[in-house]
Amino acid sequence: MTTSTEQATAAASGNAATAAFAQKSRSGAASSTERVDTLASELIAAVHDIVRRHKVTYAEYDALKAWLIQVGMDGEWPLFLDVWIEHVVEEVANESREGSKGTIEGPYYVPDAPELPAEATLPMRPGEQGTPLLFQGQVTSVDGTPLPGARVEMWHADDDGYYSQYAPELPEWNLRGTVVADDTGRFAIHTIEPAPYQIPTDGSCGNLIAAAGWHAWRPAHLHLKVSAADHQLITTQLYFKGGSHIEDDIAQAVKPELVLAPTKATNGTGHEVTYDFVLDPA
């Protein structure tokens, strides 16, 4: 499917991600001066150490200043932080979980996706390109108790690697939805398999990637947030066995427990996979 989504730019998606983040609640952030002092002082000290060890020149320093300014002008701070930093924050934040593994949220989450029944098809365009996928499973607590009415929120890129609300001409909720599990915590979501994609490379993050000789690719993945009453929400991404860039994801977000192995669908069309979620008590 060829559309003007091919004209999506880093600046457009970056500014959209920045605007979305501005609406996010940050009430849980540290507020004590001691905590801010510790984190800020150690961050600055780490930068000082890099400058001294690598004998950073004024030319390199000025290039860094120019790049940092441009990141803000491009609206790419959410992209930069979510690609290169968030996976470590997630690892620390969830190190004591007993249930399902989580990973990064990424910069393209949009809350309040349309609510759908326990078996549903994500909103998509007529003739949406991509291999059909049935993603099904059950949500339980760590003790095995089913969690009726659990909410399984899914969003992902299309077959061209674009996300709705971050690329032109895609319907607002394309490939985004919140499925409400049945009385046994079961759900079945019909969608398409997303494609691997490069993070935007025509902005500041792309300039860094080019200058460092890195690649910009993320493996194909499904994003999910799964929640239930009196349980901790889990944010995760699920990948596809054998997919490109599973071993060298630029965001370093792949974990072995998050790799799916879909099989041929029982109806003969596309693939299907079963993946259960286990939530920790709140």
> String of b and e for 221-234 (b: at least 16 CB within 10 Å)?
bbbbbbbbeebeeb
Q: What is the pLDDT of residues 45-103, one digit of tens each?
A: 999 999 999 999 999 999 999 999 999 999 999 999 999 999 999 999 999 999 999 99
Tell me how many domains the chain contains.
1
Q: In terms of residue numbers, what domain contains 158? A: 7-282
- Provide the whole-model pTM: 0.88
In a domain, 122, yes or no: yes
Q: What is the pLDDT of residues 5-22, one digit of tens each?
A: 445 665 566 667 777 777
In a domain, 156, yes or no: yes
Q: What is the pLDDT of residues 112-154, one digit of tens each?
A: 999 999 999 999 999 999 999 999 999 999 999 999 999 999 9
In a domain, 2, yes or no: no
pLDDT, position 3: 41
CATH code assigned at 108 = 2.60.130.10
Beta carbons within 8 Å of 218's beta carbon, 6+ residues apart? 196, 197, 198, 199, 245, 249, 250, 251
Other CB atoms within 10 A of residue 129 CB: 13
- Can you tell me the mean pLDDT for 265-270? 93
CA atoms within 13 A on the CB side of 136: 15
**Separation of alpha carbons 13 and 8, rounded Å:** 7
The dihedral over CA atoms of 74, 173, 26, 83, expressed in degrees to the nearest 10, equals: -50
Residue 2 has pLDDT above 90, yes or no: no
- Identify whether the C-beta of residue 192 lies closer than 8 Å to the C-beta of residue 131: yes
- Can you tell me the mean pLDDT for 254-273? 96
In a domain, 1, yes or no: no
In a domain, 69, yes or no: yes
